Structure 1
Amino acid sequence: MKSDIQIARETPLKKIKDVAESIGIDRDEVISFGRHMAKIPLHLIDQEKIDRSNLILVTAITATKAGIGKTTVSIGLALGLNKIGKKAIVALREPSLGPVFGMKGGAAGGGYAQVLPMENINLHFTGDFHAVTTAHNTISALLDNYIFRVRGTGEEIKDVLWKRVLDVNDRSLRYIVTGLGPGNGIPQEGGFDITAASELMAILCLAENEDDLRRRIENILLGYRINGEPFTVKDLGVAGAITVLMKDAIHPNLVQTTENTAAFLHGGPFANIAHGCNSVLATRMAMTYGDYVVTEAGFGADLGAEKFFNIKCRKSGLRPKLTVVVATAQGLKMHGGTPEKMIKEPDLEGLKKGLENLGKHLDNLAGFGQSVVVAFNKYAFDTAEEIDMVRTFCHERGVSFAVNEAFTNGGAGAVELAEAVVDAIGSRPSGELKFTYDDEDDVETKLAKIATHIYGARDVVMGEKALKKLKLIEGTPLEKMPVCIAKTQYSFSADPKWYGVAKDFRFKINDLVINRGSEFIVAIAGEMMRMPGLPADPQAKRIDIVNGEVEGLS
């Protein structure tokens, strides 16, 4: 089997204006970034066309270190839908440089189901991440300057809530002290989050238009004055400047797949520390031009799908016609207790036990009112007996099942999945979307409903820092905002080693982060960090440029 990068290089790419034209976008509207990437202006979004489009969400079982291949399935499904004559577009997040040089090496799909040009997409792309990073840190610099200038005036800020960001995995920057030395500002504790966790990234992904982007930026809460009054970007007087830094980033990015079909990639919040969905604007743009639009939510359904429904759909009005749950034999066996070194070997007992994890996700999605198709992402070493066991499990639950082989066969390998999806949308589309909690619930109630109903926890315990933030929220409009739980992707619980289905546990919230601009409250659970660290053997050691070509991005 050829490597991802070999397949990408051997794929003849169309000029991006030809790709745009193929879905009905006028060539003169395309804002090109070279020959094969572009931004598409927001004014082309058409609500009447959106209302006729079929939105499909792709999610997965709980993540394992063996990988699930959700993005490959998402791209493959779009390819398969086009293969059977449907006009389909995929709408995904952009990769973050932190994981690319850390653990992943790339996040643009794989095999014959990729978005291209993968080297550009995995690196600097059209500069959206850089724009968010720069805009975020510009706020930091302006805030520090304000703090320095108002010393002794009674206008001081008592509690600073705003950190800096960087699109690099760097644990050394989690907690720092700035302003040391004469003339270098005021010494204060601070820290960095990764850019994907920036509130500006969430704002980019939830904004409805340029005006809404500006409004949300103005509302960002930076801290509290000594008199207890909130201090925002609007109070700082720089919302216009920050909007200017993001004025180009707000437009969705258009690229193409390995079969030259259109793909929109825009925004990149992680699901384990943020809300895990691509931008509302890119989803709407894709729905303007596609009869079927495939989008995904990060990691397992307990993280990405929950936030897709409770945050993205709640705020945008988007409603998926169907949800696809991706599962692999390897992942299921890991959840069933099969040792990691043995997951490529047949183990029907481990697989059977691991199906409990899939079952819990199916129960949760039914609670959201979703019609579901299970996509079995097939590997060469999977046996017919293993596939039949998963198929039988799904059919006994009244859930459609299809094997996906897009990694090795592109769109042709996803025809079975595409046909199952079209049939399900036509015969039993998702019903009315049911949220886990109501807007009027208080923050503790919202957290408890997610933890008990989605994760299977007994109750929620609030830590000291979380309780302190809760007092700032209670009795204010902040209390009506959705909640976004930051927790490990490897378990329903906050313990990354608790595979399968966690039950009857106490779910601890250690801190709350008030995102007044993106309009949700982030709850930090367990030991979750908003700035990841690097592994012992980072992927950066394998990334190089040889004879003018980049290696190691796969």
Structure 2
Amino acid sequence: MSQTGHWPRLETLVGLCSRDNGMTRPPAAFLPFEAKPFRSNEADRQRGRLLKSDIEIARAAARRPIWEIGEGLGIPAEFLEPYGNDKAKVATPFIESLHERPDGKLILVTAISPTPAGEGKTTTTVGLGDGINRIGKKAVICLREPSLGPCFGVKGGAAGGGHAQIVPMEDINLHFTGDFHAISTAHNLLAAMIDNHIHWGNEQDLDPRRVTWRRVMDMNDRALRDIVCSLGGVANGYPRETGFDITVASEVMAILCLAEDLEDLERRLGNIIVGYRRDKSAVTARDLKADGAMATLLKQAVKPNLVQTLENNPAFVHGGPFANIAHGCNSVIATKTALKLADYVVTEAGFGADLGAEKFFDIKCRMAGLKPDAVVLVATIKALKMNGGVAKEDLGREDVAAVERGCANLGRHLENIGQFGVPAVVAINHFTSDTEAEIDCVKAYVGELGAKAIVARHWEEGSAGIEDLAREAVALAESGTADFSPLYQDDLSLFKKMEAVVRRIYRGAHVAASETVLAQLAEWEEKGFGHLPVCMAKTQYSFSTDPHRRGAPAGHTVPVREVRLSAGAGFVVAICGEIMTMPGLPKEPAAEKIRLNAEGLIEGLF
């Protein structure tokens, strides 16, 4: 670590490794290609593209051995459990030793409503962490793990982009340290034990018609949304309807991300409600004696994963619930560990601020006792133009009027963040097609709302392009102006909590719920679950439940078609509109372009 307290930057390390200065040269595995600084000429800038793809930039990075990254954080090598040379899990005894240390400042990165044009929230999170380290502060990044579903679907990976990435990019996006496989296995073990319990006499008198626990897999597979299992005769059990969700929607995923430690993990697993008896009393995973085995499968997965950025700054990548169908935040264990090890922790919450940020505040911060100090709200000129009604094929043309119309979406999110009492700055994630007039329009609009908008060029320039935003984020975090409080109180009824989110965050006029849904909520309240927060499962593309209603719609109705009790995770899920907890692949999935080249290297991953 340098005298200024931050980790060495990429260009410094490349310089050290490229000359004979008596230092040990990094292993060949860390320099698969010649590491050269990125350069672009003006023609390339005008065309708005990099000379190298994300995966090529990631491979060219001079990675440091993971034990050196850990050493910079003060983690002794014996407390790192390496997965190869460039990623490791942090051992539980070290994490437990940190409890008495003071916490650093917590900075959340969120975004406007996502569009096909892209917003670059993860890229900005990585770039901001690098930028804060660049200006002489000590920062750690906390991200979620990518799901294989979007990697092979339409969204791609989630390791950042351009010159603001975490590495090893291929491993992080594909399998990583096996956490998702462990979560899927633990979830499906419980599913197998349910059907097995019914087959062997059903001692708990679990009503097969009221089994609520579905199966999961980490893939987009619409064919498995609704199935019938146990067909084929007596030997295969009792046929019943069930289905699959994607792993990131699993309650086990949420539990792993909200648990404080291994003991809390097992307790929460035991509280999972798998179904109901004929008298409507709940049957739990603990009743089926599945909690111990499930916790055993998750013993390694519960430990945070340590990796690095392209500029060799530390990043924890752990857990991965989606924000449209789950609570959208990385693990509490990773976040709290990072807060003990750094002056600033930069984390993100999925999709737009109406989903990820709201759930970060109302679920994660509420449960973990976290108090965020600042928020960075990411926007792009292209996304604002799409919210202003411009078609994707026309986004390269200057259209200040469309930017101004699209700013209504940005303003809505900025106002919503203010309801939680946390100061915010807007990051304009820069594209080369952005014009000065369009940028000035956003700055002026944000200024009228009492905030700042700062252009960030981290995608092209790395930390050098985001210094201004880094300084502003640090200043906000240090300002002492944050006065965080959740949107609603615990003692509000479950339906009133849903109404609070719909009316104050989505700006809807009404929550539509059937008598069946209302009766279910009332029953859960009678059984002691009324204090739980709510997790709204809704399309990410709009404040409404119609994905085509961009901008800042208001006065709409939000239909809640189903509610699910996640007693182990500690929240109630409201399924709104047509949202699916098992996505499907697009007509041309990204998987069609992913392959191994002649050298055995992965191509097509983004």
Normalising by the smaller structure, the TM-score range is over 0.9
Q: Within 1, Cα distance between the matches of 2:478 and 2:298? A: 40
CA drift of 1:152 comes to 9.3
304-313 vs 97-106, greater mean Cα deviation? 97-106
- Report whether the alignment pairs 1:135 with 2:186: yes
Distance 1:474 1:8 in 2: 50
1:120 is aligned to 2:154: no
1:425-473 residue CA offsets vs partner (Å, 9 max, x unmatched): 233x442212111111111100001000100000101035523532431
In structure 1, the residue matched to 2:79 is 29
Deviations 1:259-298 (A, max 9, x none): 0110000000000000000000000111111111100000
Partner of 2:141: 90
Deviation digits for residues 156-208 of structure 1, max 9, x if unmatched?
Answer: 45511100000010000000000111121110000000000000000000000
Aligned to 1:308: 360
Is the Cα contact below 8 Å between 1:105 and 1:540 reproduced in 2? no
Deviation, structure 1 residue 155: 5.7
Quote the sequence identity (%): 49
Q: Is the 8 A contact 1:482 1:521 kept in 2?
A: yes
2:21 alignment counterpart: none
Match of 2:530 in 1: 479
State the partner residue of 2:247: 195
Question: Deviation per CA, 1:58-99, whole angstroms, max 9, x where unpaired?
Answer: 000111111100000000000001111111110000000000
Native 8 Å contact 2:106 2:477 kept in 1: no
Task: Note if 1:243 corresponds to 2:295.
Answer: yes
Query: 2:350 matched to which residue of 1?
Result: 298
Query: 2:458 pairs with 388, 406, 416, which one?
Result: 406
Q: Which position in structure 1 is the counterpart of 2:568?
A: 517
**Which aligned pairs between 1:47-62 and structure 2 lie closer than 5 A?**
47-51=99-103, 53-62=104-113
Q: Is the 8 A contact 2:454 2:469 kept in 1?
A: yes
Change (3 A) 1:50 1:62: farther
* Alpha-carbon separation, structure 2, partners of 1:494 and 1:456: 12
Whether the 8 Å CA contact 1:157–1:226 is kept in 2: the answer is no
What are the superposed Cα offsets for residues 5-55 of structure 1, whole Å, 9 maximum, x if unpaired?
11011001111001100121111111000110100023333234342x011
* Cα distance in structure 2, aligned partners of 1:385 and 1:434: 37
Distance 1:76 1:503 in 2: 34
Q: CA-to-partner distance for each residue in 1:306-364, whole Å, 9 max, x for gaps? A: 00000000000111110000000011111111122112211111100111111111111
TM-score, normalised by the number of residues in structure 1: 0.98
Q: Which amino acid counterpart does residue 510 of structure 2 have in structure 1?
A: D
Is contact 2:206–2:276 with CA below 8 Å preserved after alignment? no
Q: For residues 444 and 285 of structure 2, what CA distance do their matches in structure 1 show?
A: 55
Distance in 2 between residues matched to 1:199 and 1:41, nearest whole Å: 24
Aligned equivalents of 2:231 and 2:425: distance in 1? Answer: 56
Match of 1:371 in 2: 423
With normalisation by structure 2, the TM-score equals: 0.89
Deviates more, 1:303-312 or 1:221-230: 221-230
1:229 counterpart letter in structure 2? S
Give the partner amino acid of 2:311. E
Q: Secondary structure at the match of 2:483?
A: coil
Given that 1:33 and 1:126 are in contact with CA atoms closer than 8 Å, whether structure 2 keeps it comes out as: yes
Equivalent residue number for residue 505 of structure 1: 556
Aligned counterpart, 2:152: 101
Distance 2:306 2:201 in 1: 45
Structure 2 counterpart of 1:386, which letter? E
**Aligned mates of 1:151, 1:299 — CA distance in 2:** 42
Look up the match of 2:40.
none
Partner in structure 2 of residue 7 of structure 1: 57
Of 275, 286, 296 in structure 1, the residue corresponding to residue 338 of structure 2 is 286
CA contact (8 A) 2:206 2:283 kept: no
Letter in 2 for 1:102: G
RMSD: 1.3
The residue type paired with residue 477 of structure 1 is G
Alpha-carbon separation, structure 2, partners of 1:261 and 1:431? 27
Residues 124-155 of structure 1 show CA distances to partners (whole Å, capped at 9, x for unaligned) of 10000000000000000000001112259956
Residue matched to 1:63: 114
TM-fit CA distance, 1:502: 1.2
- The answer to whether the 8 A contact 2:225-2:582 is kept is yes
What is the SS of the residue equivalent to 1:496?
coil
Counterpart Cα distance in 1 of 2:171 and 2:579: 30
Q: Please tell me the residue identity of whatever aligns with 1:469.
A: Q
Contact 1:269 1:276 in 2 (8 A): yes
- Given that residues 44 and 285 in structure 1 are in contact (C-alpha distance below 8 angstroms), is that contact kept between their aligned partners in structure 2? no
Q: Is the CA contact 1:150–1:156 (under 8 Å) kept in the aligned structure 2?
A: no
Change in 2 beyond 3 A, CA 1:180/1:464: farther
CA contact (8 A) 1:464 1:510 kept: no
Q: Work out the CA distance in 2 between the residues paired with 1:214 and 1:423.
A: 40
Where 2:453 maps in the other structure, the secondary structure is strand
CA distance in 2, matches of 1:124, 1:274: 20
Q: Distance in 2 between matches of 1:181 and 1:438?
A: 50
CA contact (8 A) 1:334 1:343 kept: yes
Q: Does 1:552 align with 2:594?
A: no
Aligned ranges 1:37-52 → 2 under 5 Å: 37-45=87-95, 46-51=98-103
The reply on whether 1:17 has 2:67 as its aligned counterpart is: yes
Where does 1:380-399 land on structure 2 (aligned, <5 Å)? 380-399=432-451
**Cα distance change on mapping 1:152 and 1:521 into 2, 3 Å:** closer
Unpaired stretches in structure 1, ≥5 consecutive residues: none
Tell me the residue number matched to 2:512.
461
- For 1:38 and 1:394, the matched residues in 2 are separated by 41
Q: Counterpart of 1:26 in structure 2: which amino acid?
A: P
The equivalent residue for 2:125 is 74
Q: 1:14 to 1:465 in 2, by over 3 A?
A: farther
1:372-431 Cα deviation digits (max 9, x unpaired)? 01000000110011111111112222112211111101111111110111222233x442
Shift of 1:476: 1.9
| 1:27 maps to amino acid | A
Aligned residue pairs, count: 552
Counterpart Cα distance in 2 of 1:106 and 1:215 = 32
